[in-house]
Structure 1
Amino acid sequence: MPYKTLGRVYHNGKKYGVGEEIQDLRESEAERLLSLGVIEGEDDHSEEEVYLTPEEFKAIKDDAKRIGYLEHIGLTPAETAADQLKQYKGWYDPSR
């Protein structure tokens, strides 16, 4: 099953940009990348997307994952983690 990247992914020696397709993943590889939130499967689209709270976003320590998440929601990531958190807090609306 093909998967689409939600952030920048480096997997098996290859770099994938946001929105690129990754094919031929073993189930264990797909599960790991899905749990990291950096890929989605073709059937993963739901009508209502659930967004991280600012506290959950702050807890993301991996720069690539945090940047990928901001790009996924349509923001251009700021330079520092602190500025990215401010950026996310400004974007976040709990009623989404």
Structure 2
Amino acid sequence: MDKEVKKMNANSNNYAYLYDRVKVNAGEKQLFGTQVTYEVNTTGCAIPKNGLVDSANVDKLRKEYNLGSLRDYLNLMTSTHYEMNKERYQKMGIEKPNLY
């Protein structure tokens, strides 16, 4: 855990989002899976942009930073994206969000 988060000088989940955003913008894999992109031409599913450093342990790390499971987060992002683009997806024959 980041030393400033440990000292309570930084919000842990805000740190996680910022850390991932910086990594993604640098073209690198992220730790927490907070930055997503969507499979827009197929299912509309949210997926971690640029991939993850350690997908096997991502939920353990997310928990340390007060984030819910990656599955729940991706499902929330997928559902939100679907609702915002519902007409488009229905024209493609997708009647509901494709959740994990």
Q: Check whether TM > 0.5.
A: no
Q: Which protein has the larger Cα radius of gyration, Structure 1 or Structure 2?
A: 2
- Say which structure is richer in helix: 2
Higher relative contact order (CA 8 A, sep 6+): 1
Normalised to the residue count of structure 1, the TM-score between the two structures is 0.29
- Say which structure is richer in strand: 1
